[in-house]
Structure 1
């Protein structure tokens, strides 16, 4: 077996083009992709909610840390998204 790394510049990909992709890794990496500054909240929202919908709650809590780091989210934004996720979870 032979493995090679593929170098990808995530910032060359437009995050909006990947909102519909149902892959947890893509959701985690959305904040590392290119987006306009006015789209920042929607990119973060799509990352968290998409991950929440695609993985178990344990994996969500494990991997949402990467979204925190990649998006450089602040405490008030984190609270806001947690409220939205809590509401979605309550509806399930």
Structure 2
């Protein structure tokens, strides 16, 4: 199922494992379906995400390994620690 609003596309897709996948994209603006994959009727947005998600996985792994985060109930500190973690990885 696709949803469109002001340059943004939301897609809801059920994977082969039966899990619901929600993706929000500002790059894709149509309801194109990729018929070249093993999984039939897979949205092109999902295929593109799967091809380019490698960097996200690496950053998430590094954030877990080299984290400066502390347990806190104050949301500004959570954001601050997240910014510090990403800054450390980018440095």
Which structure shows the higher strand fraction? 2
Q: TM-score, normalised by structure 1?
A: 0.24
> Normalization by structure 2: what TM-score?
0.24
**Structure having the higher Rg:** 2
Point out which structure has higher relative CO (alpha carbons under 8 A, 6+ apart): 1
